[in-house]
Structure 1
Amino acid sequence: MTTTGTGGSVLVLTKPDDVTTDLVLRILAERRVPVVRLDPGTDLHAGAALTARYGTGGQCGTLRTPSRELDLTRVRSVWTRRPSPFDGPPELEGQDRRFAASQSLWGVGGILASLPGAHYVNHPWDNRAAEYKPAQLSTARRCGLSVPSTLITNDADRAREFAAHQSGGVVYKPLWNTPYAVDGRARQVWVRDVRPQEITAAVAGCPHMFQAKVEKAFDVRLTAVGHRLFAVRIDSPDLDWRHRQSLMECTPITVPDQVARSVSAYLTGSRLTFGAFDFAVTPAGDWYFLECNPNGQWAWQPAPITGSIARALADQLQNGPGE
């Protein structure tokens, strides 16, 4: 069948096993908003086909899946959730597969990121730009958020000097969640305390991020969807609450007006509609910005918060940036 509708279709780019997406898609289905779900990194090797035409007369194209055909000029919004990477057809090997993967990234990725008139949540290129932690810290400062003193360096002497001058201690944070394994088993690199004497010459191997440890009473996860903010206080026995989420407690919390204004400015400056912000809050009530994941998970929060975020995302996808 051909999928259109009064306002066009919502195109959702994500993996088949992304259950978080289902929460929003159920709401859109109840509202009778047409949706096409695609994992471009894999589906185009399993029966889906994408075609785009460009010329002086305009731009047009189609996405055909085993169950439907989508007019690319009738896409009202695109939700860039968690698509698979472009790895190339599984039947190819070596340079042939690498070539196909590269062509898919620049071809398919370019088509889906350039749909005329579509509202992106978020645009994939803006997502990528907003994932750089140095850029996050710079943007946060510019928008009026408090930021812990931070050093990013591959100079061990500078790192030790920085750590020695932080009276409250220092933590190490990876700049990217790079896959890491020990003896063939996947390991997560958590935020951890670091003492000056633990910093070795191995720092020269790549940039490391060291940050003054915030004396925190609790953490906050603030999920922003357009102008709507949803925040939970996180009480955890761990420095990094992600380490043992089964031990943390989450309760709704009100966002201070100044923080809310700064978060809005952050989204605008980063061209984001969605952002998952992490803060450390001191006993005095000061909110310190830690990071913003432009495509962070959110369905782990208490059911009322999760449901509100899902409805806010559905509103964005259905009605556009005014929601």
Structure 2
Amino acid sequence: MTASRGHVLVIAEQLDPTADLVVQALNERHVPVLRFDLSEFPVAVTLAAEHRDVAHGWTGTLARREQTVRLEGVRAVYYRRPGLPAVSPDVAEVYREWAVSQALVGMVQILASLPAAWMHHPDVYRASAHKPGQLVTATTAGLQVPRSFIGNDLAAARRWGRTIGGPLASKPVAAASLQLPDSPPTMIPTRRIDVSDLDESFELTAHYLQEWVPKKYEVRLTVVGQQMFPVAIHAGSDAARDDWRSDYDALEYEQVPIPDDVAEGVRRFMAGYRLNYGAFDFAVLPDGRWVFYECNPAGQWQFIAAATGLPIAEAHASLLTGVIT
């Protein structure tokens, strides 16, 4: 076994190309990395932590296969949508849910107590990931947002929609996929609708409506620490113009400057949530104004880096190793 200081922990699904790029960038800097998924704990990952006093905090080891890391030597944690712990089949069914909760809290909270940089701590992710709160934070930060409605009151939604005086955008309020029979999980895209399209099914769950923004194009703004990578997304199909995630083959990318007031608003947004990474989506109006849609604190960026050559992985490596550029 080997042990060394200064490790970065990469906690992500094994088949995650975004995490792969970060690991590659760290390897190029000769930074030691331990990568694992929470789904490997406790079966294939071993934790041994001791607490003695305030001065030492939690000390001990984290081991996977032939690699062992000293907890007190961890410099940063890149925590990117890992799975849940998977306990041994030897655990009786009646105890399995309990055992998973013990493993999850035991591992994550030990790591959270270490004096290390995080991207992002699970508590920060949970606080920042939801669209209703984001709209308030964005407005407070000085960003322009669309007029919005969330609820299941059909009559109220129709009244609100008529005040908009034009088409509406219907989108999921939560980033959950839909699992249909005999089909892989699918994303529910943003749809352009009219008030007349709202019917009694609206009352069955919470719905998220916004005024339809007459955009010239959209921008995916990837923010890593203090670095901003704004890229225009030009849609070449009707589906992509409604939601560019619906037709990646119809997209073209272009690096664009970010207005100073938008950049300052994004910094205030990030500070409000204590984020050091965010994938922001904006619409750009024909007159050049930027309208905030949302921020995904664990959003994908590898497709932007591949299309533009922007050093987003390198920016992650800089932040995780404490090198500010």
The two structures have a TM-score, normalised by structure 2, of: 0.92
Task: Identify which range, 290-299 or 132-141, moves more after superposition.
Answer: 132-141
Task: Identify which range, 184-193 or 61-70, moves more after superposition.
Answer: 184-193
* 1:285 matched to 2:288: yes
Contact 2:149 2:210 in 1 (8 A): yes
**1:149-201: per-residue Cα shift (whole Å, max 9, x none)?**
01111211111111222123111111112231233323321110222232223
* 1:51 matched to 2:54: no
Q: Hey, what does 1:29 align to over in structure 2? A: 27
Give, in whole Å, the separation in 2 of the partners of 1:184 and 1:244: 22
After superposition, where does 1:123-138 map in structure 2 within 5 Å?
123-138=121-136
Give, in whole Å, the separation in 1 of the partners of 2:89 and 2:145: 45
Q: Hey, what does 1:2 align to over in structure 2? A: 2
CA distance 1:312–1:302, change in 2 (3 Å): closer
Contact 1:223 1:230 in 2 (8 A): yes
Matched position secondary structure for 1:187: coil
Task: Identify which range, 267-276 or 164-173, moves more after superposition.
Answer: 164-173
Contact 1:298 1:306 in 2 (8 A): no
* 1:229 matched to 2:228: yes
Give, in whole Å, the separation in 1 of the partners of 2:17 and 2:281: 23
Contact 2:217 2:232 in 1 (8 A): yes
**1:277-323: per-residue Cα shift (whole Å, max 9, x none)?**
00011101010000000010000015374541111101001116x45
Q: Hey, what does 2:265 align to over in structure 1? A: 262
CA shift at 1:91, angstroms?
A: 5.4
Matched position secondary structure for 1:182: coil
CA distance 1:24–1:181, change in 2 (3 Å): closer
Give, in whole Å, the separation in 2 of the partners of 1:89 and 1:306: 43
The correspondence for 2:172, drawn from 150, 174, 182, is: 174
Paired amino acid for 2:255: P
Give, in whole Å, the separation in 1 of the partners of 2:193 and 2:103: 42
**1:216-259: per-residue Cα shift (whole Å, max 9, x none)?**
00000000001100011001132100001111111111111111
**1:88-116: per-residue Cα shift (whole Å, max 9, x none)?**
4455564322122222222222222222x
Task: Provide the aligned length of Structure 1 versus Structure 2.
Answer: 318
Q: Hey, what does 1:154 align to over in structure 2? A: 152
Give, in whole Å, the separation in 1 of the partners of 2:300 and 2:203: 32
Give, in whole Å, the separation in 1 of the partners of 2:18 and 2:305: 14
Any stretches of 5+ residues in structure 1 without a counterpart? none
Q: Hey, what does 2:66 align to over in structure 1? A: 67
Paired amino acid for 1:196: V
Q: Hey, what does 2:217 align to over in structure 1? A: 218
Give, in whole Å, the separation in 1 of the partners of 2:210 and 2:90: 45
Task: Identify which range, 178-187 or 30-39, moves more after superposition.
Answer: 178-187
Matched position secondary structure for 2:220: strand
CA shift at 1:268, angstroms?
A: 0.9
Matched position secondary structure for 2:245: coil
Matched position secondary structure for 1:203: helix
Contact 1:4 1:74 in 2 (8 A): yes
Matched position secondary structure for 1:100: helix
Contact 2:42 2:86 in 1 (8 A): no
Matched position secondary structure for 1:20: helix
Matched position secondary structure for 1:319: coil
Give, in whole Å, the separation in 2 of the partners of 1:65 and 1:183: 37
The alignment-based identity, stated in percent, is: 37
Q: Give the superposed CA RMSD.
A: 1.8
Contact 1:3 1:34 in 2 (8 A): no
Paired amino acid for 2:188: V
Give, in whole Å, the separation in 2 of the partners of 1:90 and 1:173: 40
Matched position secondary structure for 2:232: strand
Task: Identify which range, 304-313 or 292-301, moves more after superposition.
Answer: 304-313
The two structures have a TM-score, normalised by structure 1, of: 0.93
Matched position secondary structure for 1:33: coil
